């Protein structure tokens, strides 16, 4: 056996390099995972904010005169007006949020869906984005009795 070959087999020179490479790979995965999780969290928070605003806009869509003063029954609330206001508010977010509204006569319930594209999402199999859902409820204005 050549002298240079025998010398390299006896020592443990270079065994630390694979551990350093592994540490860098793990650190890279932690950083990209944190960025992806942070992006998904911010996307969900923004969706909840838009959904809250849409619910308030839907609750304010009902005019005080015909629906509060005259005491219209719960079934007489115009869902078309509410849905139009909710959709218009949700469209202000660049059209990436879909919102559906319903009312029970005392509140407006809005369900919002969106897809958040996260940084490094394709590394974790989320190249198509993260599907997010949010629900928000706003009480209708109550006029004082009498």
pLDDT tens digit string along 66-86? 555 555 555 556 677 788 888
Q: How many folded domains does the chain comprise?
A: 1
- CA gap 97, 135 in Å, rounded: 12
In a domain, 65, yes or no: yes
What residues make up the domain containing 63?
17-139
pLDDT at 63 over 60: no
142: pLDDT confidence band, cut at 50, 70 and 90?
low
Who has greater pLDDT, 115 or 104?
A: 115
In a domain, 11, yes or no: no
Burial of 145 (0-12, 13-18, 19+ CB in 10 A): exposed
- CA gap 135, 14 in Å, rounded: 56
In a domain, 47, yes or no: yes
pLDDT tens digit string along 30-53? 999 899 889 889 989 999 999 999
In a domain, 104, yes or no: yes
27 Cβ contact partners less than 8 Å away, ≥ 6 residues apart: none
In a domain, 5, yes or no: no
For the chain, the average pLDDT equals 79
In a domain, 129, yes or no: yes
In a domain, 111, yes or no: yes
């Amino acid at each position: 056996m050549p002298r240079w070959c025998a010398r390299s087999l006896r020592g443990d020179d270079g065994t630390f390099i694979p551990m350093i490479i592994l540490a860098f790979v793990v650190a890279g995965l932690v950083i990209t995972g944190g960025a992806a999780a942070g992006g998904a969290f911010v996307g969900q928070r923004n969706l909840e904010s838009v959904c809250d605003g849409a619910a308030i806009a839907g609750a304010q869509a009902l005019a005080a005169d015909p629906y509060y003063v005259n005491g219209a029954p719960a079934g007489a609330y115009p869902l078309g007006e509410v849905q139009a206001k909710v959709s218009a508010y949700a469209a202000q977010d660049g059209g990436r949020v879909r919102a559906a509204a319903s009312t029970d006569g005392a509140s407006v319930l809005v369900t919002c869906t969106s897809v958040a594209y996260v940084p490094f999402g394709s590394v974790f199999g989320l190249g198509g984005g993260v599907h997010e859902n949010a629900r928000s409820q706003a009480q209708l204005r109550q006029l004082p009795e009498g």
